[in-house]
Amino acid sequence: MKIKLILILTLLFTLQACNKDQLSELDFLTGKWKIENIDQFEVWEKNTKNGFDGYSYKINNGEKIIL
């Protein structure tokens, strides 16, 4: 979990240093991603502030739990 948090924070700090053209190169991140080897997912969307918003969740007994 600590590694995931560090990766997300690193990505956010990197995105802040990028200009708009550089951010468009990261459009491939948008969408739903399954984390390998565990039943956990990430969702990434472009926001109106020239950045990305994301969250993680898992399914437990049919219920979506935001992490």
Q: Look at residue 10 in the predicted model and tell me its pLDDT.
A: 74
Residue 49 pLDDT? 75
| Tally of structural domains, the chain | 1
Low-confidence residues of the chain: pLDDT under 70: 1, 13-23
Predicted local distance difference test score (pLDDT) of residue 58 = 92
Report the pLDDT value the prediction gives residue 56, as an integer from 0 to 100: 92
Q: Which domain holds residue 60?
A: 2-66
Sorted by sequence, the CB contacts under 8 Å of residue 14 that are 6+ apart come out as none
- Listing DSSP states for the chain in one string gives -HHHHHHHHHHHHHHHHS-HHHHHTTGGG-EEEEETTTTEEEEEEE-TTSSEEEEEEEEETTEEEE-
Q: Is 21 left (phi over 0), alpha (psi -120 to 50) or beta?
A: alpha
Tokens standing for residue 61: 């007994």
